[in-house]
Structure 1
Amino acid sequence: MMDFFHYVISAEQATERRNKIIEHFKRWGIEPNFFQAIMGNQLSENQLKQLTQDEGLLTKGEIGCALSHLGTYRRLLETEEKCAFIFEDDTCLTEEFIAVQPKIYHFMAEQTMPSVLLLYPIRGHKKKLLTIGRDISIMRCLAGSGAYAYVLNRQAAINLLRAQTPVKIEMDAWGIYQRMGFVDLYCLNKPVILLDKVLNDNSIIDKISDRRAIDRNNASFLKKRIVKSWYDHFTIQEKMKFYKRRISRHIKELYYDDNEK
């Protein structure tokens, strides 16, 4: 029976989704380690005020999503584990994932910097770092979206908990986290974790509240304000590192591959 340290974020009341995950993981000899999802629409107004610092950027579904992911980070830090694989409950493991999982773990366990590895490719700038399978590579990347399957190490968990307590921004703001120096970001050149299309189309987050209702222009303004708030709390040394990363990012954009072009 295969075993590795992971969490599957799942609402206990979503029995169909949970049963599918149990069935799917067991095909690979894995017992899913569930983390009870926090449902934003079940939080009281007082709880929302205590747990978030939101001015209209996030839906209640996104708030619950962020709190759930942050909850798994706290669980990780209660253990001696070096990193954790995080899955949402609409994911499907593949044979390729089973084959390269030990190498992914080894790579993440060796990272001394706060690191996050997305288990799928991103659209945007990236550069090959390490081959871990016949046609699978770990890539350095400058942005990314989605949080349905990834690995993070302890230092990344500490940084993201510090940044997102209380919750300020959507959980998958990976590019912003990287620009702020909270994480070093990696992805794969091809997906080894797939999304169950039926379950993904039937998103619980969107059932709680429609993300499309968020004003994009206002969202951009609010995100810039959040970034400024984080920056204002930096020490002088951290501010210097911020500008160094900013310059480095512009240079990397010149020679990283960009599959959006």
Structure 2
Amino acid sequence: MLTLVISLPLSTQRQKKISAGLQAAGMSFSILPGVVGSELSEAEIGSFAPFRFMARFRREIGPAEVGCTLSHKLALETFLASSESTALILEDDAVIPSNLGDAIALLVNRLPGNWGILKVGGIGGVRGRLLQETAVGKIVETHATTVCAHAYVISRQGASQLLRRILPIRFPYDIYLRDTHVHGARTFEVVPTLVVQEDLAGSRIQCDRMERPPSSDLRSFVAYRTWKLGHEIRRRAHIVKTIGLSAAVAPSRITRHS
């Protein structure tokens, strides 16, 4: 398994900390320099994210969010250029448990052959169906993952599916990863999460979001409601197709695979 750590060039303290964690877990890895969003010109941001206003959040996407997506895009491309069949993609604020490598090996071995993504870190609730209970957690096939993208395992098929629709950038990367009906990769998540995240409040992305509060004008509200209607129709149709009607009707409940 290829392990890639996305880190901005100047984040040396984070690099030291996650390197120590991975070494303690007995895992080999490479540091992948991330894209610094603040160094992108307006023209560059516009070329990657031509639809700057996000009706979903009623605000413009920030430079750090664009840089984050481009960094994960680079990680996916780096993985596909390798000879490895799976990759663990981490952000540099991930906290590495000592059993991470063994836990991932166990979980991947229990997944179906056409799996695409296995999230091993995230914040929030998981929606979907219980596939299997293991010694390290429950494997849930999900149509709506947790948020944050600091730790996930991916197959070559999953990486290809993510890259297919990663541009143009319409949402922050973790939201794109969450929306399985958009990228189409068969997605699973382990519950409880294996990898937590630190320094969330001080991240450049969080600062970006605070600097761009949601608009409260009528036009933004109408745009949001229009987006919401189309999103729900597409999302629930995808759930019925991939997981089943019961999950679409009661999406907040984790039900067992029959």
- Give secondary structure in 1 for the equivalent of 2:172: coil
Q: Tell me how far 1:99 sits from its aligned partner.
A: 3.1
Q: Percent identity?
A: 18
**Alignment-derived partner of residue 161 in structure 2:** 159
Q: 1:18 aligns with which of 11, 15, 21?
A: 15
- Give secondary structure in 1 for the equivalent of 2:53: coil
Cα gap change, 1:76 to 1:211, in 2 (>3 Å) = farther
Q: Tell me how far 1:193 sits from its aligned partner.
A: 1.0
Q: 1:183 aligns with which of 155, 167, 185?
A: 185
AA paired with 1:62? E
TM-score, normalization by structure 1 = 0.77
Query: Separation in 2 of the partners of 1:203 and 1:54?
Result: 24
AA paired with 1:201? A
AA paired with 1:112? N
Query: Separation in 1 of the partners of 2:222 and 2:2?
Result: 36
Query: Separation in 1 of the partners of 2:138 and 2:161?
Result: 26
- Give secondary structure in 2 for the equivalent of 1:127: strand
**Alignment-derived partner of residue 212 in structure 2:** 213
Question: CA offsets per residue over residues 207-242 of structure 1, 9 Å max, x none?
Answer: 4x234624277499469659979x9xxxxxxx9xx8
**Contact 1:6/1:33 (<8 A) preserved:** yes
- Give secondary structure in 1 for the equivalent of 2:148: coil
Q: Tell me how far 1:82 sits from its aligned partner.
A: 2.0
**Contact 1:159/1:182 (<8 A) preserved:** yes
Cα gap change, 1:46 to 1:90, in 2 (>3 Å) = same
TM-score, normalization by structure 2 = 0.78
Which is richer in helix? 1
Query: Separation in 2 of the partners of 1:164 and 1:181?
Result: 8
Query: Separation in 1 of the partners of 2:151 and 2:222?
Result: 25
**Alignment-derived partner of residue 85 in structure 1:** 88
Give 1:78-117 correspondences, 5 Å limit. Answer: 78-107=81-110, 111-113=113-115, 115-117=116-118
Question: Is 1:41 aligned with 2:38?
Answer: yes
Question: CA offsets per residue over residues 18-57 of structure 1, 9 Å max, x none?
Answer: 1111222222233431111111110012211222223223
**Alignment-derived partner of residue 71 in structure 1:** 74
AA paired with 1:97? L
What stretches of structure 1 of length at least 5 have no aligned partner? 232-238
Query: Separation in 2 of the partners of 1:140 and 1:45?
Result: 39
What stretches of structure 2 of length at least 5 have no aligned partner? 55-60
Question: CA offsets per residue over residues 108-160 of structure 1, 9 Å max, x none?
Answer: 5x5325x2111146514232212332x51211122121111111222222222
Q: 2:247 aligns with which of 252, 255, 260?
A: 252
Q: Tell me how far 1:15 sits from its aligned partner.
A: 1.3
Query: Separation in 1 of the partners of 2:110 and 2:221?
Result: 35
**Alignment-derived partner of residue 200 in structure 1:** 200
AA paired with 1:151? V
Question: CA offsets per residue over residues 44-97 of structure 1, 9 Å max, x none?
Answer: 122112222232231111111111111111111112322211111111111342
Q: 2:47 aligns with which of 43, 50, 53?
A: 50
Cα gap change, 1:181 to 1:112, in 2 (>3 Å) = same
AA paired with 2:156? R
Query: Separation in 1 of the partners of 2:245 and 2:177?
Result: 13
